[in-house]
């Protein structure tokens, strides 16, 4: 089987592209690198980079019906190294006024979860795993 080199991009359907660009910019440092306009010149798609993810792009396509179907779903987990980095994300989310779970301990890592403006559930998950005595039964 041929090897994969990574993930090129992740695309979300969103109900309001400008709102999503602003929110992901504020929360993740999203910076648009390309826009896609409809026949009237209105931006309906956007591709850009997130701080820290140089080789993976994030894309948005405005589509209200599809965005409604993603609400509550968790299509992607962003990775950090350990507990301290997850706590830094909790602090950042709190500073930005983003409601979140706070630092949680899961069987395979430390996690914080929260929702974007369309209700898509996002995770910041650690590569480091908690010690067995930290995991609740």
Tally of helices (H runs) and strands (E runs) in the chain: 3, 8
Task: From 43, 66, 89, give the residue that closes a domain.
Answer: 66
Structure tokens at 134: 């930290």
* Cα 117 to Cα 17, 67, 85, 126, distances in angstroms: 10, 10, 23, 24
Q: What domain count does the chain have?
A: 2
pLDDT means over runs of 10, the chain (137 residues): 91 96 97 92 92 92 90 91 97 98 93 97 95 72
Same domain (yes/no): 80, 104 = yes
Same domain (yes/no): 8, 58 = yes
Closest CA relative to residue 14, chosen from 43, 53, 34 = 43
What's residue 80's pLDDT? 96
What sign for the dihedral angle of Cα 89, 109, 57, 54?
Answer: positive
Task: From 66, 93, 110, give the residue that closes a domain.
Answer: 66
What's residue 17's pLDDT? 96
- Which residues 6+ apart lie within 8 Å of 108 measured at CB? 125, 129
What's residue 136's pLDDT? 65
Same domain (yes/no): 57, 109 = no
pLDDT (tens digit, 9 = 90+) per residue, 15-53?
999 999 999 999 999 999 999 989 998 889 999 999 998
Same domain (yes/no): 19, 57 = yes
What's residue 125's pLDDT? 96
Task: From 16, 40, 66, give the residue that closes a domain.
Answer: 66
Same domain (yes/no): 89, 124 = yes
What's residue 92's pLDDT? 98
Domain CATH code at residue 105:
3.10.180.10
- Domain residues for 117? 71-137
């Amino acid at each position: 089987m041929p090897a994969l080199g990574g993930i090129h991009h992740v695309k979300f359907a969103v109900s309001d592209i400008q709102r999503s660009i602003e929110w992901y910019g504020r929360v993740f440092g999203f910076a648009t690198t390309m826009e896609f306009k409809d026949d009237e010149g209105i931006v309906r798609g956007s591709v850009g980079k997130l701080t820290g993810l140089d080789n993976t792009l994030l894309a948005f396509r405005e589509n209200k019906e599809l965005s409604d179907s993603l609400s509550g779903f968790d299509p992607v987990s962003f990775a950090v190294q350990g507990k301290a980095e997850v706590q830094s994300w909790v602090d950042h989310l709190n500073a930005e006024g983003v409601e979140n779970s706070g630092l949680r301990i899961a069987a395979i890592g430390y996690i914080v979860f929260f929702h974007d403006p369309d209700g898509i559930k996002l995770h910041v998950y650690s590569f480091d795993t908690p010690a067995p005595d930290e995991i609740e039964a």
